[in-house]
Amino acid sequence: MDLTRMQIAFTGKLRTMTHKQAIDLARALGAFPHNRPVKTTQVVISGIIEKPMDEALTTENMTYAENNALQVINEKDFLLWCQQKVQGYLNNI
């Protein structure tokens, strides 16, 4: 999936970086990230969702994504996109 020029948001705990780092990286690689889904969000990137046993494994952002039929991808897919973008830049040097 190519996230270039797409409106994205992050939810859950990311294993490899903070949300701020992920937002900065996504912005540097051509996506339009937000702290939370907004009306124009197209894709939500989901990290780990940790909740007590008696609570559903969801977040407000995931509920928003479900209610608005947004595509949800995991952190690994986000990192693969980042890797492909960086490799593309390196190939053009």
Q: How many domains does the chain have?
A: 1
Q: E-assigned strands of 1-93?
A: 7-11, 32-34, 43-46, 71-74
71 inside domain:
yes
64 inside domain:
yes
45 inside domain:
yes
27 inside domain:
yes
2 inside domain:
no
CATH number of the domain where residue 21 is located: 3.40.50.10190
Express each pLDDT in 64-93 by its tens digit. Answer: 999 999 999 999 999 999 999 999 999 998
pTM for this one? 0.89
Residue 54 in this model has a pLDDT that exceeds 90: no
1 inside domain:
no
20 inside domain:
yes
State how far the Cα of 85 lies from the Cα of 70, in Å rounded to an integer.
Answer: 23
Express each pLDDT in 37-53 by its tens digit. Answer: 999 999 999 999 888 88
**Residue range of the domain that includes 38:** 7-91
28 inside domain:
yes
Q: CB neighbours of 47 closer than 8 A, spacing ≥ 6?
A: 10, 11, 12, 13, 14, 15, 74, 75
Distances (CA, A) of 10 to 28, 59, 91, 93: 16, 11, 28, 31
Express each pLDDT in 13-25 by its tens digit. Answer: 999 999 999 999 9
State how far the Cα of 43 lies from the Cα of 69, in Å rounded to an integer.
Answer: 10
